[in-house]
């Protein structure tokens, strides 16, 4: 018997750890695919993603808002709890690698039957006391336990990447909302100054009209221009309230308290970031969604091996060492010692397709995960391309907007001279004033759009970039 047990253990040692999971050949991102986006395809150096990329804008208020959001956001809290769940699940799978040791004790009093075959017409009453330790261990013959453990590890990494994705989206949302809010405040300040100027001009025109110097049509035109500016002011204030509400949700704050915060009283947009020209292609591997979907693919692939292992026998080893006596006083004597060592080999015979269907389900789940991974990578390329293209166009648009604003300012100066000299009517002056306000608002909006495109680029790359490694 001992020789048979030793033979089983030897066989278990030989087959233990043999994985039935298929080899996963899917890779991350091919350099040749991303070179068209303007990246450096030399992947010898790995670029580190900055955890606090928003600090590159040099705005302390922005830094504090992002940190506040990361500390209060409920979606991020849920993502972090999911990491804890995945870590606990991994600990359970890892514990399956090792033997389990349990203690068992019991006491009973038994009376036999006089009618039983073995009683020979006698009735016996006796006590039974036992105390034992039981050691059990399932040999990982076909890599089922190791594959399940690998799948759990991948699930944990996927949960961590998902949390990073939530963190990145949250930070991006706060930064973008903050820039929009500053842009609206800058626009509001400009419109308020314009309204004040137009009110003064309207009162002067009204006085000139009452004195018979100015025509009524000029007064009406000036009044319409003033009303138009007031409408623009109300629209901007409504947008400020909406943007503040969205930012307040991200921060977990009341919108009224947020808009009244003196730290957000600034009305000036920060300078735009400078994008390096030699960002390596492997930076996309740092995108949380790519990492999460890849680890989900790894997990699904390992679970195929777990499902396949059900086709083959399982081997369990067990050992019992303890004490047994019919009298409590004799329980701890050496003569009460008892032990048992054994092995159980269980092999499937007929399961009516249960195992094959489980394997098929695992394969289909892996195929779905592979498609999802490929979709995630393609989406990443699209987002990076759109962000970089948008920045190029917005940089050009900002220059054009600034040039247009300068031209309109000069036009207004010339029209004022011509009006005072009597060469043009006041309608030309009003048109130039209206165009100047629109040009100034457009410049502010384009600056904000350029900043937002930088945020989109940060997000599409999975964060920022370590400038010290791009020189």
The rounded distance, in Å, linking the Cα atoms of 34 and 385 is: 9
C-alpha to C-alpha distance for 339 and 348, rounded to whole angstroms? 30
Confidence (pTM):
0.78
Q: Is 271 helix (H, G, I), strand (E, B) or coil?
A: coil
C-alpha pair distances (Å), 401 with each of 193, 440, 442: 20, 8, 7
Enter the tokens of residue 34: 């991303």
Q: Provide the pLDDT for residue 230.
A: 92
- DSSP class of residue 122 equals -
- d(CA 433, CA 436) in angstroms, rounded, equals 5
253 phi and psi angles, rounded to 5 deg: -120, 160
Report yes or no: 184 and 239 within 8 Å, Cβ to Cβ. yes
Cα(163)–Cα(81) distance, rounded to whole angstroms?
A: 9
Terminal alpha carbon distance of the chain: 71
User: Across the 471 residues of the chain, what is the mean pLDDT of every consecutive 10-residue run?
Assistant: 50 56 66 50 55 86 89 81 85 81 88 74 82 85 84 90 88 92 92 88 81 79 87 93 87 71 71 75 79 91 88 85 85 86 84 89 92 89 86 93 94 88 81 90 94 91 65 45
> Is residue 394 helix, strand or coil?
helix
Structure tokens at 101: 């040791």
- Give pLDDT, residue 10: 53
Give φ, ψ of 275 to 5 degrees: -90, 125
pLDDT at 32 (0 to 100): 42
Answer yes or no: are the C-beta atoms of 269 and 448 closer than 8 Å. Answer: yes
Contact 162, 126 (CB under 8 A): no
The superfamily (CATH) of domain 17-97+140-312+348-469 is: Outer membrane efflux proteins (OEP) (1.20.1600.10)
pLDDT at 3: 55
324 forms beta bridges with 130
Q: How far apart are CA 252 and CA 299, in angstroms?
A: 35
Cα 245 to its chain centre, rounded Å, is 22
Backbone φ, ψ for residue 200 (5° rounding): -65, -40
CATH of the domain spanning 108-137+314-347: 2.20.200.10
- Predicted confidence at residue 445, as pLDDT, reads 94
φ, ψ of residue 47 to 5 degrees: the values are -90, 135
- Count helices and strands (H / E) in the chain: 10, 4
Residue 36 host element (H or E):
none
Q: Which two tokens stand for residue 338?
A: 């008892």
The answer to whether 161 touches 295, Cβ cutoff 8 Å, is: yes
CA distance 139 to 315: 6
Q: Which helix (H) or strand (E) holds 137?
A: strand 125-139
* Three-state SS annotation for 324-335: EECCHHHCCCHH
Q: What are the structure tokens assigned to 177, written together?
A: 């909302």
Task: Please state the domain extents for the chain.
Answer: 17-97+140-312+348-469, 108-137+314-347
Three-state DSSP state, 124: coil
Longest dimension (CA), the chain: 139
Structure confidence at residue 179 (pLDDT): 93
Closest residue by Cα to residue 234 from 196, 269, 184: 184
């Amino acid at each position: 018997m001992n020789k048979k047990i030793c033979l089983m253990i030897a066989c278990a040692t030989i087959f233990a750890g043999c994985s039935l999971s298929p080899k996963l050949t899917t890779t991350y991102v091919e350099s040749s695919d991303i070179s068209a986006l303007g990246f450096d395809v030399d992947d010898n150096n790995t670029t580190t993603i900055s955890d606090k990329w928003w600090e590159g804008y040099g705005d302390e208020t922005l830094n504090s808002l992002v940190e506040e959001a990361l500390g209060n956001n409920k979606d991020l809290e849920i993502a972090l709890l999911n990491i804890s769940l995945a870590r606990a699940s991994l600990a359970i799978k890892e514990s399956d690698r090792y033997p389990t040791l349990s203690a068992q004790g019991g006491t009973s009093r038994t009376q036999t039957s006089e009618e039983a075959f073995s009683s020979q017409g006698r009735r016996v009453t006796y006590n039974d006391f036992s105390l034992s330790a039981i050691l059990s261990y399932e040999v990982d013959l076909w890599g089922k336990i190791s594959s399940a453990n690998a799948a759990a590890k991948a699930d944990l990494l996927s949960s961590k990447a998902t949390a990073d994705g939530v963190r990145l989206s949250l930070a991006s949302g706060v930064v973008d909302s903050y820039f929009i809010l500053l842009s609206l405040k800058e626009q509001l300040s400009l419109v308020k100054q314009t309204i004040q100027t137009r009110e003064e001009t309207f009162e002067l025109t009204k006085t000139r009209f009452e004195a018979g110097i100015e025509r009524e049509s000029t007064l009406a035109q000036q009044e319409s221009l003033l009303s138009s500016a007031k409408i623009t002011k109300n629209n901007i204030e409504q947008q400020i309230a909406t943007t503040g509400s969205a930012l307040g949700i991200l921060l977990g704050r009341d919108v009224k308290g947020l808009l009244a915060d003196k730290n957000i009283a600034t009305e000036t947009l920060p300078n735009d970031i400078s994008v390096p020209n030699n960002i390596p292609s492997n930076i996309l591997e740092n995108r949380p969604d790519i990492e999460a979907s890849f680890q989900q693919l790894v997990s699904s692939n390992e679970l195929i091996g777990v499902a396949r292992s059900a086709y083959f026998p399982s081997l369990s080893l067990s050992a019992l060492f303890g004490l047994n006596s019919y009298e409590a006083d004799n329980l701890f004597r050496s003569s009460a010692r008892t032990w048992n060592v054994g092995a159980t080999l269980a092999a499937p015979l007929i399961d009516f397709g249960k195992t094959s269907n489980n394997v098929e389900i695992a394969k289909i789940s892996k195929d779905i995960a592979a498609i999802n991974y490929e979709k995630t990578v393609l989406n990443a390329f699209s987002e990076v391309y759109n962000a970089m293209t948008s920045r190029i166009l917005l940089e050009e648009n900002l220059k054009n907007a600034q040039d247009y604003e300068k031209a309109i300012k000069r036009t207004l100066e010339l029209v004022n001279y011509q009006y005072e000299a009597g060469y043009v009517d006041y309608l030309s002056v009003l048109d130039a004033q209206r165009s100047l306000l629109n040009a100034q608002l457009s410049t502010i909006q384009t600056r904000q759009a350029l900043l937002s495109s930088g945020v989109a680029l940060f997000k599409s790359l999975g964060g920022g970039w370590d400038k010290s490694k791009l020189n």
